[in-house]
Amino acid sequence: MTTGRLDGRVALVTGAGSGIGRAIARRLAVDGARVLTVDRAGDVDRVADVTEAGINARLVAEAGSRFGGLDIIVACAGITGMQTLDGHSDEFFDTMMAVNVTAVFRLIRDALPLLKQSSHGRIILIGSVMSSFGEAGMAAYAASKHAVLGLTKSVAAEVGASGITVNCIQPGAIDTPMTAPAFTAMPAFKQRWIEKAALGRLGQPEDVADVAAFLASDDARFMSGHGVFVDGGATQRQ
């Protein structure tokens, strides 16, 4: 594991209380970054609901005042869930979009002034393999993750002149506290995703975190506007 390649840089990671977000925050810290961790609960620096009006601007300001700037944002806070169209509620769809899309957009927008002052500006979003295809019963989730990939491409085009890179990680089935209830309730669903992956296993949060650390580093300095699959080869075997 490379250490020190993020020395002196400041990161803000949402959804850092567990799972992928926590693994990313820890990995960025190992590489030398100072990290402001945010989540609705858990052992984080700031407990906050990213859908609250104005909260993302306050989080950005806190990172800037605490550490003297901001170089990296990782928008990892997100939710998932399944609901078939027959009886699909507006509330379910609206909540999915509020957490997975609107809060991400606001964080990007509010972080831009500080990111533009950095010589290593990085925006890292968390999409899904369903950023590129769909799954029965997951219309709301798939729509939200397609939107994240769209944000990635459009924002990359807009902020590239400021030297900021924007990329989206598209994880496959990852073994996290968020996915555990579905995998426990539906063993066949879990097994299907294990078999779907060419590597024959569920991913671990660290599998995603290592890619996030790469995207945050100078090693990815000429890479922007892309969705990066971290899925064990699952998308090859649809």
Q: Which residues contact 192 (CB under 8 A, 6 or more apart)?
A: none
- pLDDT tens for residues 72-97? 999 999 998 888 889 889 999 999 99
Tokens matching residue 170: 């598209």
| 125 strand-pairing partners | 75, 168
pLDDT at 237: 59
Mean pLDDT, the chain, whole residue set: 94
Give the domains, in start order, of the chain with CATH numbers.
10-176+204-229 (3.40.50.720)
DSSP 48: -
| Rounded distance between C-alpha atoms, residue 196 and residue 199, angstroms | 9
**DSSP track, 94-119:** HHHHIIIIIHHHHHHHHHHHHHHH-S
- pLDDT tens for residues 107-117? 999 999 999 99
| Rounded distance between C-alpha atoms, residue 152 and residue 218, angstroms | 19
Residue 6 has, within 13 A of its CA and on its CB side, a CA count of: 30
DSSP 231: S
Three-state DSSP state, 84: coil
pLDDT band at residue 238 under the 50/70/90 scheme:
low
Give the sheet arrangement for strand 72-75, strand by strand.
46-47, 34-39, 10-14, 72-75, 122-126, 165-171, 226-230
Q: Which residues contact 114 (CB under 8 A, 6 or more apart)?
A: 60, 63, 64, 69, 70
| Rounded distance between C-alpha atoms, residue 9 and residue 71, angstroms | 6
DSSP 34: E
pLDDT band at residue 24 under the 50/70/90 scheme:
very high
Tell me which residue of 167, 154, 127 sits closest to 143, measured CA to CA: 127
Active site members:
141
Tokens matching residue 223: 């890479």
b (16+ CB within 10 A) / e for 47-83: ebebbeeebbeebbebbbeebebbbbbbbbbbebeeb
- pLDDT tens for residues 29-65? 999 999 999 999 999 999 999 999 999 999 999 999 9
pLDDT at 188: 87
- pLDDT tens for residues 192-227? 888 889 999 999 999 999 999 999 999 999 999 999
Which of 47-61, 158-172, 184-198 bottoms out in mean pLDDT, i.e. has the lowest? Answer: 184-198
Model confidence at 1: pLDDT above 60: no
